[in-house]
Structure 1
Amino acid sequence: MARHARNAVPALGLRANAAQFSLLVAVNALVGGMVGQQQTVLPLLATEEFGLTGFTFIFTYVAAFGVTKAIANYFAGMLSDRYGRKPVLLGGWLFAVPVPLMLIFAPDWGWVIAANVLLGINQGLTWSTTVVMKIDLVGARQRGLAMGLNEAAGYGAVAVSSLLAGYLAGQYGLRPAPFLLGLFYTALALLLSGVFVRETRGHARLESRTHVPRADGIHDHLHEDLTGRQILVQASLREPALSSASLAGLVNNLNFGLAWGLFPLLFATAGLPAAQIGLLFALYPGVWGAGQLATGALSDRIGRKHLITAGMALQAAALAVIAASDGFAGWAAGTVLLGAGTAMVYPTLLAVVGDVAHPAWRGRAVGIYRVWRDLGYAAGAILGGITADLLGLHAAVWAAAVLSAATAAVVAARMYETLPPRTG
Structure 2
Amino acid sequence: MHALRRWWHDTAGGLPGTFWYLWAGLLINRAGAFAMLFLSLYLTDARGATEALAGVVVGAYGAGGAVGVLFGGVLADRWGRRSTLLAAHLATAALMVALAFSRPLPLIAAFAALVGVAHSMPGPAFVAAIVDVVPADRRSRAFNLEFWALNLGMAVASLLAGLVAEASFTALFLVDAGATLTAAAVIGWKVPETLRRSAPPPPARQPTAVRPRRPGLLTVLSDRIFLVFVGLTFVLAVLTLQTSTIMPLAMRADGLGPSAYGVVVALGGALIVLGQLFVPRLIDRRRKAVVLAASTALLAVGFGVLAVADHLAVYLGAAVVWTIGSMLAAPPNAQINADLAPPDLRARYQSVFYLTFPAAAFVAPMLGGVSLQYLGDRHWLIVGGLGVLAAVGHLLAGPSRERHVDALRRAAEREPADRIPTG
TM-based fold match above 0.5: yes
Q: Secondary structure of 1:310's match?
A: helix
In the alignment, the residues of structure 1 paired with residue 339 and residue 184 of structure 2 have an alpha-carbon distance, to the nearest angstrom, of 31
CA change 1:296–1:69 in 2 (3 A) is farther
Contact 1:205 1:359 in 2 (8 A): no
Q: Secondary structure of 2:209's match?
A: coil
CA change 1:16–1:319 in 2 (3 A) is closer
Larger Rg: 2
In the alignment, the residues of structure 2 paired with residue 402 and residue 109 of structure 1 have an alpha-carbon distance, to the nearest angstrom, of 43
Q: Secondary structure of 1:201's match?
A: coil
Give the gaps of 5 or more residues in structure 1.
1-13
In the alignment, the residues of structure 1 paired with residue 164 and residue 256 of structure 2 have an alpha-carbon distance, to the nearest angstrom, of 19
In the alignment, the residues of structure 1 paired with residue 75 and residue 31 of structure 2 have an alpha-carbon distance, to the nearest angstrom, of 24
Percent identity over paired residues = 22
Contact 1:38 1:165 in 2 (8 A): no
Which one of 198, 201, 205 corresponds to residue 195 of structure 2? 201
**Are 1:29 and 2:13 counterparts?**
no
In the alignment, the residues of structure 2 paired with residue 392 and residue 58 of structure 1 have an alpha-carbon distance, to the nearest angstrom, of 29
Which position in structure 2 is the counterpart of 1:408?
A: 391
**Are 1:362 and 2:346 counterparts?**
yes
AA aligned opposite 2:125: T
Which one of 302, 308, 313 corresponds to residue 297 of structure 2? 313
In the alignment, the residues of structure 2 paired with residue 406 and residue 154 of structure 1 have an alpha-carbon distance, to the nearest angstrom, of 28
CA change 1:381–1:59 in 2 (3 A) is farther
Contact 1:59 1:385 in 2 (8 A): no
Which position in structure 1 is the counterpart of 2:336?
A: 352
In the alignment, the residues of structure 1 paired with residue 157 and residue 273 of structure 2 have an alpha-carbon distance, to the nearest angstrom, of 13
Give the gaps of 5 or more residues in structure 2.
1-11, 411-423
**What is the CA-CA distance between 1:411 and the residue it aligns to?**
2.0
Which position in structure 2 is the counterpart of 1:221?
A: 209
In the alignment, the residues of structure 2 paired with residue 380 and residue 85 of structure 1 have an alpha-carbon distance, to the nearest angstrom, of 31
**Are 1:246 and 2:240 counterparts?**
no
In the alignment, the residues of structure 2 paired with residue 220 and residue 117 of structure 1 have an alpha-carbon distance, to the nearest angstrom, of 41
CA change 1:112–1:359 in 2 (3 A) is same
**What is the CA-CA distance between 1:379 and the residue it aligns to?**
1.9
Which position in structure 1 is the counterpart of 2:414?
A: none
Contact 2:139 2:335 in 1 (8 A): yes
**Are 1:161 and 2:149 counterparts?**
no
Contact 1:45 1:174 in 2 (8 A): no
Q: Show the 5 A alignment for 1:63-78.
A: 64-78=60-74
**Are 1:333 and 2:317 counterparts?**
yes
**What is the CA-CA distance between 1:106 and the residue it aligns to?**
8.6
Q: Show the 5 A alignment for 1:380-395.
A: 380-387=364-371, 390-391=373-374
Contact 1:30 1:154 in 2 (8 A): no
Contact 2:40 2:54 in 1 (8 A): yes
Q: Show the 5 A alignment for 1:68-217.
A: 68-97=64-93, 117-165=113-161, 172=166, 182-202=176-196
CA RMSD of aligned residues (A): 4.3
Contact 2:85 2:184 in 1 (8 A): no
Contact 1:154 1:289 in 2 (8 A): no
In the alignment, the residues of structure 2 paired with residue 62 and residue 408 of structure 1 have an alpha-carbon distance, to the nearest angstrom, of 33
**What is the CA-CA distance between 1:364 and the residue it aligns to?**
1.7
AA aligned opposite 1:149: L
In the alignment, the residues of structure 1 paired with residue 340 and residue 141 of structure 2 have an alpha-carbon distance, to the nearest angstrom, of 16
**Are 1:19 and 2:2 counterparts?**
no
In the alignment, the residues of structure 2 paired with residue 305 and residue 32 of structure 1 have an alpha-carbon distance, to the nearest angstrom, of 29
In the alignment, the residues of structure 2 paired with residue 397 and residue 63 of structure 1 have an alpha-carbon distance, to the nearest angstrom, of 26
Normalised TM-score (structure 2):
0.74
In the alignment, the residues of structure 1 paired with residue 110 and residue 309 of structure 2 have an alpha-carbon distance, to the nearest angstrom, of 34
